[in-house]
Amino acid sequence: MIFTFKVLTFVFVLAAICAENIFSQQKLIVESGIENYSLGGYLSILEDKEHKFSINEAASDSMRDKYSYVNKTTLNLRFTTSAYWARFIVLDTTSFQFAVIKGFHDNSTWLLVNNEQVIEDTRLYYKDLNNEGNNYVEIKAGCMVPVKQKSIKISDFVAGFPIQKNVPDTVYLRVQTKSQFILSFNLVTTNEYVIRSSKRNFFHAVIFGISFLLILYNIILYLSIKEEVYIHYVLYILFFSLYLFVYQGYYSDIIGRTFSQDYFILPLGAATLGGVFWLLFTRAFLNTKLTMPWAYKALTYFTVLAPFFYICTFAFHIPWLAAILAASIISYYLLGILVCIISLKKGNYLSKYYLLAIFGVAAGVLITTSTRNNFFPLPFNFWTQNAINLGILWEALILGGTVGYRFNLLRVEKEKEKAIMRNQIAADLHDEIGSNLSAISLQSRLMMKNQNLDDDSKEQLQNIEYTAGITTEKIRDIVWFINPFHDKSEDLVLRMKELASKMLFRLNYSFDSAGDEARIFDLLPDLNMRRHIFLIFKETLNNVIKHSEATEVNILLTAKEKKFIMIIADNGKGFSEEKIVPGAGLSNLRNRAALIGAQILIESNGGNGTKITLEVPLKN
């Protein structure tokens, strides 16, 4: 019995000692070689609901035991109208001589840095050991204090203060804000702060640079194809960049305070508009208007949700409405994921890229939320602080590549639509107009066999038959060029050879080309340009047959010195332009050449044949 009592007594004493060690405030011991300390595990806090405590009251012996030790890297107090006092004890046992900042002359000077940018009122209190009475020195910081009033003109800098060697110093903070109340501070040396700021600025410069390139790239795509998805993506990236610019303090560092609560209104406004354009981008990117009309309407109606709560937050001055606003912006992403999953099941292959992109944002939100609320034991460092920024950067890069791929896809689909339309037009011309012209020609021939017709009527019917025949030939040429199955270079070369064999069958002729004959027209992808070249070719052969009295014709196609060249030469009687009666033939050749920006050279002398050279400039 006595033994059991002793054991219980020992356990009780041991538990009491452990409890004292666990729940009593821990001192921050400055050690050599460590220049960055998170204060979360060293803070005790005191709530000041009525905002009535002065520093002397908050630091008095009567208040000493009213502070609560929290032992959390980041303390999230949600939304509250209370002010909070925070206390930490620091003991410098090193002999390392740290750098001194402007305004401080003690060799052990440290800087207090606020990891949460949107905290309105932060005040640091430390004892002035150089003055009699050791009164507390107050340094004001926070969003409400202009950056230019700080000794280091950067928004996250709170204050610099001296620490005695080998003597515990108790430092106090008073914090108050209308935004979400998050306590997260670091104590760093001047050198470490320079490194920290440089790393932060470089990282954000990379994000801003990538965002600028993505915006420029998608503006070019929008100007090329006029699809709303690209302009929505541009506005989404733009407002995300603006949010980052303001929230990370660059706005106040560079521009300064411009109006009341700009540090609160601007980032929330940018985030709200970014969320709105994200929904509009989702709506267009997944093509919901055609594939899922209900989703198109839902995404449209949801866009007013976040702006409504944004307006209410500042109209009614209710801080917790900002939490609902944040939740509504997150709901935009959740709704986008839901619509995307349904779209993926319907076979929209772009949905998988959307899900891959949104994964980055989801991971960033999870990491940041966990860090800010201590859900998971994640370290509070540079990478966890910027998890959302990294997630949105991942999302922007994935979607940036995907919208570029979508641009190519849309172009291919439009080309397919054009091909289908061209094929349909070609079929209609051939079936309707071609057959009607053939019927007119046939009826004309039948009517001419009538014995009762006079000569004038027969001549008119012959003219009708001739006109119908010529028109039918032209319609066939048009149908041939409209038909997308004849877009290959080799098809046009074959068409020209067939025409030459049909028209020059009574003559000796040659048809040659320099280089790869089947690919020579690949250098001239423009359909209209090809059509004019073919018609010039046809008109020239027609003139040879009608007027030249030639026995030999040589045709050459070649491409050199960035020009496509077609030469048609005959050994006929030739002509002199000054002596012939002007007709439509030569003027048609020159007009067609001018329409495609080509030059045509007609060389002919009486008895020496004719040579026609067409030179068409090639585009790079």
468 part of a folded domain: no
Contacts of 188 (CB under 8 A, 6+ apart): 35, 36, 37, 110, 111, 113, 196
Closest alpha carbon to 578 in 600, 594, 598, 602: 602
Amino acid at 601: L
Domain boundary among 370, 396, 413: 413
396 part of a folded domain: yes
Average pLDDT over residues 307-330: 78
Average pLDDT over residues 351-377: 80
Contacts of 440 (CB under 8 A, 6+ apart): 464, 465, 468
pLDDT at residue 85, rounded to an integer: 93
CATH of the domain at 39: 2.60.40.2380
161 part of a folded domain: yes
Residues 83, 165 within the same domain: yes
Answer yes or no: are the C-beta atoms of 192 and 109 closer than 8 Å.
no
Confidence bin at 20 (pLDDT 50/70/90): very low
Mean residue pLDDT across the chain: 80
Range of the domain at 542: 488-620
β-sheet bridge partners, residue 552: 508
Average pLDDT over residues 127-144: 79
The answer to whether residue 235 scores a pLDDT higher than 90 is yes
Q: What distance in Å separates the CA atoms of residue 278 and residue 31, rounded to the nearest whole number?
A: 48
Average pLDDT over residues 490-499: 83
Answer yes or no: are the C-beta atoms of 136 and 59 closer than 8 Å.
yes
Residues 45, 177 within the same domain: yes
User: 406-450, pLDDT tens digit by residue?
Assistant: 666 666 666 666 666 666 666 666 556 666 666 776 677 677 767
Residues 240, 366 within the same domain: yes
- Virtual CA dihedral for 228, 231, 237, 238, nearest 10 degrees? -140
| Window from 92-106, 195-209, 394-408, 487-501 with minimum mean pLDDT | 92-106
The answer to whether residue 148 scores a pLDDT higher than 70 is yes
Q: What distance in Å separates the CA atoms of residue 336 and residue 339, rounded to the nearest whole number?
A: 5
160 part of a folded domain: yes
Average pLDDT over residues 296-319: 83
478 part of a folded domain: no
pLDDT at residue 84, rounded to an integer: 93
The answer to whether residue 101 scores a pLDDT higher than 60 is no
CATH of the domain at 592: 3.30.565.10
The answer to whether residue 125 scores a pLDDT higher than 90 is yes
| Window from 157-166, 307-316, 381-390, 572-581 with minimum mean pLDDT | 572-581
Residues 604, 576 within the same domain: yes
Residues 147, 239 within the same domain: no
The answer to whether residue 603 scores a pLDDT higher than 80 is yes
Average pLDDT over residues 464-489: 70
Residues 393, 492 within the same domain: no
Average pLDDT over residues 105-109: 58
Q: How many residues does the chain have?
A: 620
User: 53-66, pLDDT tens digit by residue?
Assistant: 999 999 998 888 89
| Window from 3-7, 150-154, 251-255 with minimum mean pLDDT | 3-7
CA distances from 338 to 176, 276, 329, 345, 364 (A): 39, 17, 15, 11, 19
Please give the tally of structural domains in the chain: 3
Share of residues in the chain with pLDDT > 90 (%): 9
* Maximum average pLDDT range among 118-122, 145-149, 582-586: 118-122
pLDDT at residue 277, rounded to an integer: 93
Domain boundary among 397, 413, 429: 413
The answer to whether residue 2 scores a pLDDT higher than 70 is no
Closest alpha carbon to 192 in 312, 10, 34: 34
Residues 156, 211 within the same domain: no
454 part of a folded domain: no
Answer yes or no: are the C-beta atoms of 234 and 218 closer than 8 Å.
yes
Can you give the pTM of this predicted structure? 0.64
pLDDT at residue 22, rounded to an integer: 44
Residues 315, 354 within the same domain: yes
DSSP 596: T
Residues 181, 301 within the same domain: no
Confidence bin at 8 (pLDDT 50/70/90): low
Residues 170, 227 within the same domain: no
pLDDT at residue 384, rounded to an integer: 81
Closest alpha carbon to 177 in 292, 114, 84: 84
β-sheet bridge partners, residue 603: 611
Question: Could you identify the residue written with the tokens 């009033």?
Answer: 149
Q: Per residue, what are the HEC states of 400-433? A: HHHHHHHHHHHHHHHHHHHHHHHHHHHHHHHHHH
CA distances from 256 to 1, 119, 144, 261 (A): 75, 16, 11, 12
Residues 179, 221 within the same domain: no
Domain boundary among 391, 413, 435: 413
Confidence bin at 32 (pLDDT 50/70/90): confident
Q: What distance in Å separates the CA atoms of residue 511 and residue 518, rounded to the nearest whole number?
A: 13
Answer yes or no: are the C-beta atoms of 89 and 64 closer than 8 Å.
no
The answer to whether residue 170 scores a pLDDT higher than 60 is yes
Lookup: tokens for 133: 């009475």
Q: What distance in Å separates the CA atoms of residue 612 and residue 359, rounded to the nearest whole number?
A: 65
499 part of a folded domain: yes
Amino acid at 271: A
Residues 178, 205 within the same domain: no
User: 542-591, pLDDT tens digit by residue?
Assistant: 888 888 888 899 999 888 778 888 999 998 888 876 666 555 567 888 88
151 part of a folded domain: yes
